């Protein structure tokens, strides 16, 4: 079965081949069982099973031999993260005569890279891009650096920077002399940890699980408070991002963010118009029952974007 909702270049459009995945990562075999439909699968409500699946996927598809995250940190579903990068590549190609730009010359800023550093790992593997990953959590960045050290050749293409102000996004990260071709972000979705836990209870119910309401549910994909929460939730975070992007309008070719709540889209679009973005675009994404979208914007004119890419490849 082909997963047509995923990007055409996705490596994950077919069902997981658990035989192949367990060959490269035998530990995954401890969690594989035949489900009610007669298919091999894992229990997606089990955080250890989800982590083992990610480790196998990263090794099999992206040649990432070692990947670990501290207990309780976000363990993201990989197909959706890979799709974000493919859509980023499409936007950059539109600015480059339809050709996807590859190699270390292309610089990507990953806001909230986290301990998992999934975007830099996959983006380097797929397109050879260089990355700067940011986070407000020093433990997360330490874990991400350890992952790089264990995987060798990526070290000179990926770096991490600590954001010292939890209320800031680009400020304090992008220096006055720096330029980035694209910025990525998976913003905190919830306004509080309590809201995040209630969201997890809904996921458990969808998975036919029912944790006791009096006790905090286990988050199958994990996530710390810093990864999941921001005062005002996703909407406030993205509006802050748009406001800060106006101050570095000519230092980034494209800005972007994931948007989980469809109801936030009109407000985001209006904010971009008020910020005088010259272009904004949206890409729908889906993985299973989860639907989200990418919103991207630029302050450059079409001619300025052409000149931007010409300079990048001199």
User: In angstroms, how far is CA 198 from the centroid of its own chain?
Assistant: 22
Q: Is residue 47 part of a domain?
A: no
pLDDT score for 190: 56
Q: Which domain CATH number covers 99? A: 3.40.50.150
Q: Is residue 199 part of a domain?
A: yes
pLDDT score for 195: 54
Q: Is residue 35 part of a domain?
A: no
Q: Is residue 96 part of a domain?
A: yes
pLDDT score for 246: 98
Q: Is residue 166 part of a domain?
A: yes
What residue numbers bound the domain in which 303 lies?
A: 70-312
pLDDT score for 187: 92
> CB atoms < 10 A from the CB of 274, how many?
11
Q: Is residue 42 part of a domain?
A: no
pLDDT score for 230: 76
When divided into structural domains, the chain yields a total of 1
pLDDT score for 212: 45
- Classify each residue of 80-94 as buried b or exposed e, where b means 16 or more C-beta atoms within 10 Å of its C-beta: bbbbbbbbbbbbbeb
- Give the separation between CA 283 and CA 84, rounded to whole angstroms: 9
Q: Is residue 207 part of a domain?
A: yes
Given CA atoms 242, 246, 247, 249 in this order, what sign does their dihedral have? positive
Quote the tokens at residue 13: 């459009």
pLDDT score for 198: 53
Phi/psi for 170 (5° steps) reads -90, -35
Burial class (CB in 10 A: 0-12, 13-18, 19+), 14: exposed
pLDDT score for 257: 98
- Give the separation between CA 61 and CA 75, rounded to whole angstroms: 17
What is the mean pLDDT for each group of 10 consecutive residues in the chain (314 residues)? 86 94 97 91 92 97 96 91 97 92 96 96 97 96 95 90 95 96 88 52 50 46 58 92 98 97 95 98 82 95 91 71
pLDDT score for 16: 93
pLDDT score for 288: 67
pLDDT score for 214: 45
pLDDT score for 218: 45
Q: Is residue 108 part of a domain?
A: yes
Q: Kindly give the pairing relationship between strand 290-298 and strand 279-287.
A: antiparallel
Three-state secondary structure along the chain?
A: CCCCCCCCCCCCCCCCCHHHHHHHCHHHHHCCEECCCCCEECCCCCHHHHHHHHHHHHHHHHCCCCCCCCCCCCCCCHHHHHHHHHHHHHHHHHCCCCCCCCCCCCEEEEECCCCCCHHHHHHHHHHCCEEEEEECCHHHHHHHHHHHHHCCHHHHCEEEEECCCCCCCCCCCCCCCCCEEEEEECCCCECCHHHHHHHHHHHHHHCCCCCCCCCCCCCCCCCCHHHHECCCHHHHHHHHHHHHHHHHCCCEEEEEEEECCHHHHHHHHHHHHHCCCCEEEEEEEEECCEEEEEEEEECCCHHHHHHHHHHHCC
Cβ(296)–Cβ(304) under 8 Å?
Answer: no
Cβ(170)–Cβ(247) under 8 Å?
Answer: yes
Cβ(157)–Cβ(126) under 8 Å?
Answer: no
> CB atoms < 10 A from the CB of 214, how many?
5
């Amino acid at each position: 079965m082909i997963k047509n909702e995923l990007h055409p270049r996705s490596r994950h459009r077919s069902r997981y081949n658990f035989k192949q995945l367990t060959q490269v990562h035998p530990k995954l075999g401890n969690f594989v069982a035949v489900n009610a439909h007669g298919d091999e699968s894992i229990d997606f409500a089990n955080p250890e099973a989800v982590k083992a699946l990610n480790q196998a996927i990263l090794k099999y598809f992206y040649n990432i031999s070692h990947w670990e995250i501290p207990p309780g940190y976000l363990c993201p579903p990989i197909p959706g993260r890979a799709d974000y990068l493919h859509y980023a590549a499409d936007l950059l190609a539109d600015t480059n005569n339809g050709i996807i730009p590859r190699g270390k010359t292309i610089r990507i800023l990953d806001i909230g890279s986290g301990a998992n550093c999934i975007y830099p790992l996959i983006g380097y593997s797929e397109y050879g891009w260089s990355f700067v990953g940011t986070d407000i959590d020093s433990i997360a960045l330490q874990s991400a650096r350890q992952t790089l050290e264990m995987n060798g050749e990526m070290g000179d293409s990926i770096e991490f920077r600590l954001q010292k102000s939890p209320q800031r996004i680009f400020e304090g990260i992008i220096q006055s002399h720096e330029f980035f071709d694209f910025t990525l972000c998976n913003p905190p979705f919830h306004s509080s940890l309590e809201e995040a836990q209630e969201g997890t209870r809904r996921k458990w119910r969808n998975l036919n699980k029912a944790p006791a309401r009096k006790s905090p549910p286990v988050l199958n994909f994990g996530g710390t408070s810093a990864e999941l929460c921001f005062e005002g939730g996703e909407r406030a975070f993205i509006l802050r991002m748009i406001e800060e992007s106006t101050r570095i309008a000519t230092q980034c070719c494209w800005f972007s963010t994931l948007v989980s709540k469809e109801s936030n889209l009109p407000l985001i679009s209006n904010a971009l118009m008020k910020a005088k973005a010259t272009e904004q675009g949206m890409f729908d994404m889906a993985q299973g029952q989860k639907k989200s979208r990418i919103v991207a914007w630029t302050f450059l004119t079409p001619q300025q974007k052409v000149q931007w890419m010409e300079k990048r490849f001199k």
